[in-house]
Structure formats: C-alpha cells, structure tokens
C-alpha cells in the first residue's frame, strides 16, 4: 500500500521513521489512533463546536501523532490530511 501512495523518497523517510520509533511505539500509536478517531467521530456526531476545548485538545493530539509519524515530512502530512476520517 505504501508504494501506491508515497514517492520513493517518502517511502524511505517512513522506513527511517519506523526504525527510529521502534515496533513497540508504532503499535502503541496505532492503538492511540483508533481511540482518537473514535473520539473525533463522536464529537462530530454530537455536533460539538470545533472551536471548543474538547475538540481543540483532540486536534492537538491528532497533529502531534501526525508529526511523530511523519517526522515533519510535509508531503506525507498532506497525504494524511487528505485521508482524514475516510
């Protein structure tokens, strides 16, 4: 799947990030993502104000996980934003 969506340079960057973070952290973040996505969806269904504190805390956590995953690679970040909550 990675080869379908990312350039060879981005694939290398993701591989390096994976090696840096380690398998245990990757698995931990995968679990965190699932919970975070569920929380965001719940707030959306409830019609929670996006500028409210609850949603802003979730948004900060979302951005933090993306930054950790991408290592600041803007191309990978753009792709992830385009896939958000599909």
Q: Token pair of 38, please?
A: 């569920």
Nearest-CA neighbor of 9 among 83, 86, 79?
79
Contact 50, 64 (CB under 8 A): no
Q: How far apart are the first and last CA of the chain?
A: 16
- Structural domain boundaries, residue 67: 2-83
Q: What is the tens place of the pLDDT at every residue in 58-83?
A: 999 999 998 888 888 888 888 877 77
Taken in order 15, 19, 22, 23, is the CA torsion positive or negative?
positive
pLDDT classification of 32: cutoffs 50, 70, 90: very high
**pLDDT above 80 (res 46):** yes
């Amino acid at each position: 799947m990675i080869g379908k969506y990312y350039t060879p340079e981005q694939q290398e960057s993701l591989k390096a990030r994976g090696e840096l973070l380690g398998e245990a952290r990757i698995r931990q973040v995968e679990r965190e993502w699932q919970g975070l996505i569920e929380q965001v969806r719940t707030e959306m269904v409830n019609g929670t104000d996006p500028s409210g504190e609850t949603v802003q805390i979730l948004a900060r956590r979302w951005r933090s996980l993306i930054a950790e995953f991408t290592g600041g690679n803007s191309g990978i970040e753009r792709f992830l934003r385009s896939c958000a909550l599909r």
